[in-house]
A and B are shown apart, each in its own frame.
Chain A
């Protein structure tokens, strides 16, 4: 059924279809409407779940982890400061191998205080052991939530997932979204059956024990093995998703990359703007392409390399910055593969990114001066 809704609504609809048993949330702009939609679904009996309106994001993820510990499917959502407040428990959730799925409305981190979009919040949690999927539009927000449960709950993965949607640009913008039927979703996503560990008086076990140097490192190693193995699980789930719903996904999306001389690499809603620019330039005979990175964790090294290896130059666009070294996606790509790339920081704290900015990036990539330089797009002082 096609409906014109925001990404937050699409995300909430996906959660309803996934039937989590416990939903602890704490409202924060621009995630708030997710909390509200889910509250109304529960109030109207459309979602049979225990909705817990907790007193902080730290408690939201803690309650989610406690609930997940009993072996039920759970959902939570947050943004920015809220995600930062969850930081400690994100590691615990991943370490306890809890298949929690969380929506994150990407928003800048304070200070200065900003409610507007960038991706610093989720990028800053990259080492937590969570998988991260970045949506370009509302449809992807819905589709990624459904797939995230399948991926996280896979017995070979058992790591939590974060579905990231750009604040306001997606969370508060309406567009047509195909909402699948419950029958189809049930076929794709059966109820969660824990086989790993859970709190049950009939089978008592201790979860979250104290671990000395003889065991800790092996637990971390197992997580890394699971995270790397998740690449294949994601591909398998993508395929099954396509079979049921007809929409095709991968860890990356190659947009006119085949013969491209310059490829732009980006994540999230900005890919829509880039596609429009790529189309215009292709009409003029310029060989430009876009590589959209959907899975930031696990990092799809091979998919990225295979997509960009034949390009003359690539540009990596980051809505985040690791101070002192530059954009995180740029640096990870540079670290993992031998490519000729320029890095660009843009769109921080909601700074608008226009098609002209994208053209400027392409020009700078075509004629690089210093590839180690952090290129800032849209800084007032430059103009």
Chain B
């Protein structure tokens, strides 16, 4: 796969060492190119890339609020259309909080109305910008500052909200999951999303060194472990047709993924077993 040299997210932003979100945005923008307008929800990405008067964005970029990226992008897309600028790609980047929780209504509206835009959720599985509070995308067993483990708690007690499938239920032409640790798979999906007429949704899994608790050098490795253990599955749904885009040769035990992160360190064997069973069940359904 040919990866364009040109960069549209400049270095020098305020992301943590090992930040997964900016890796994802950088890769996505390479595929989308210069003729793109980006919309961001409030969150890590917005804060670290635009400390006024500096910006990392080499393409036009707008941020309004936390919960309305879908609606802002809708307005941008229609306004460009009204000016005959149909060739400009509109892409939204929002975190899992801005997507699965507070921004879900606005996103649902945008998907249902059929705007020609790409929405990429960079999912680090909690509110990282404000110090690791749980979101609807926080996985079972994870300890966050608002779902802490303790004497009477093993952390988050609900499974991760399945946003990509909720997006698929909108009947949009393209839905995909991806991981920053599988850049070619992700970039191919971004390319498809760009080419598709109508809304495209990509749910991008990205490890967060600060929130998950691992060494910054291990970001890509963690993302890979999530996929290799079946904890995160790479697929796409094109015009309603579901396809797995990557199958691990042999699934690794979920524990290898869990034990390499501080947020799962407290889990007892009993809970770890539950997580393994849950992953096994999902993978069995998908024949992984």
Contacts and interface: CB of A to CB of B under 8 A. Distances in A.
B96 to A, nearest CB: 19
B79 A211 contact: no
Nearest to B109: A55
A69 interface: yes
Interface in A57-78: 58-60, 62-72, 74
B76 A54 contact: no
B71 A59 contact: yes
B79 A70 contact: yes
Contacts of A21: 79, 82-83
Interface string B78-98: 111111000010000000000
B64 A62 contact: yes
A55 B106 CA distance: 7
A331 interface: no
A108 B52 CA distance: 39
Tier of interface size on chain A: 35 or more
B72 interface: yes
A215 B82 contact: no
Contacts of A205: 55, 60-61
B276 interface: no
A184 interface: no
Contacts of A203: 60
Interface stretch (B34-42, B120-128, B167-175, B234-242): B34-42
A200 to B, nearest CB: 6
A70 B74 CA distance: 12
Contacts of B61: 199, 204-207
Contacts of A58: 67-68, 71, 106
A221 interface: no
Interface in A211-265: 211-212, 215
Interface string B48-84: 0011110101111111110110111111101111110
A88 interface: yes
B108 A92 contact: no
A206 B81 CA distance: 20
Give the top 4 A-B pairs by smallest Cβ distance, nearest first.
Answer: A66-B75, A63-B75, A55-B109, A59-B71
Given A67-B78, A204-B60, A212-B52, 18 more contacts: A21-B82, A22-B75, A50-B79, A52-B75, A54-B71, A55-B108, A59-B71, A65-B75, A66-B39, A66-B64, A66-B72, A74-B75, A199-B76, A200-B60, A201-B35, A201-B59, A205-B61, A209-B55
